[in-house]
Amino acid sequence: MLFPVDAILFDIDGTLVDSTAAVIRTWQAWAAPRGIDAEEILRVCHGRRTEDTIAMFLPPAQQAAAVTELEQLELDDLNEIIALPATRSLLSRLPADRWAAVTSGSQRLMRARLTAAGLPIPRVLIAAEDVKAGKPDPEGYAAAAAALGHDIRRCLVVEDAPAGIEAGRAAGARVLAVATSHPASDLTTADTLVPDLTACRLEVTATGLLLSTTS
């Protein structure tokens, strides 16, 4: 499939960066003293902001402190944070005004994970604290396109999670899903699906970008 677009908007965790092991460890460490089943959290947390996930498990009065505690656990655990296949080469070819990242994590955490993985930090990074509503709400992707100065309908969203795919489509973008963290059967609402970004080829043209997929 061919995607002639003006810009590409990437999710981070599970799309550019493999942070699975750290995510599991930190949620387990956070859940254990509270008597919460970490497996229940892990079933719903992917692609969602920490505050939105914690709101499912704690009363309002406890949520703000719990979000702060979890973020510190995450910042203290940057072990095994690695770039996913082909991300480094793909990002290195993108002009700074042609790509952005939209993440459910915080600015501090996502910048730390990108750095740990050896990936560049984009000029435009829309994080959890930059939006009123997290994914699957389209606010983040709409904000990223606007910050780059491009029409969201001329942008491609790259996502690994159902909540992110829903957000990209609701914003008006086309969506490429990578099956790096979820089964392909969970990602069928994307415009196309690839195993990972090694299946993508990028051409920077005089007027924009042309991304093609080989599977």
For 146, the token pair is 């606007």
Burial code of 199-210, b = ≥16 C-beta within 10 A, e = fewer?
Answer: bbebeeeeeebe
Pairing status of strand 7-10 against strand 192-194: unpaired
Known catalytic residue at 13: yes
**Residue 121 DSSP label:** P
> Which of these is catalytic: 6, 11, 18, 137?
11
Q: Token pair for residue 205? A: 């043209």
The answer to whether 9 and 168 have CB atoms below 8 angstroms apart is: yes
H-run or E-run covering 76:
none
Known active-site residue 37: no
Pairwise CA distance, residues 65 & 180, whole Å: 31
Which of 138, 136, 190, 180 has its CA nearest to residue 160?
A: 180
Q: Among the options 6, 13, 52, 137, which is catalytic?
A: 13
Residue type, position 87, single letter: T
DSSP code of 147?
H
Say how far apart CA 101 and CA 19 lie, in whole Å: 16
Q: Please, which residues have CB within 8 angstroms of residue 118's CB and are 6 or more apart in sequence?
A: 83, 88
Residue numbers annotated as active site? 11, 13
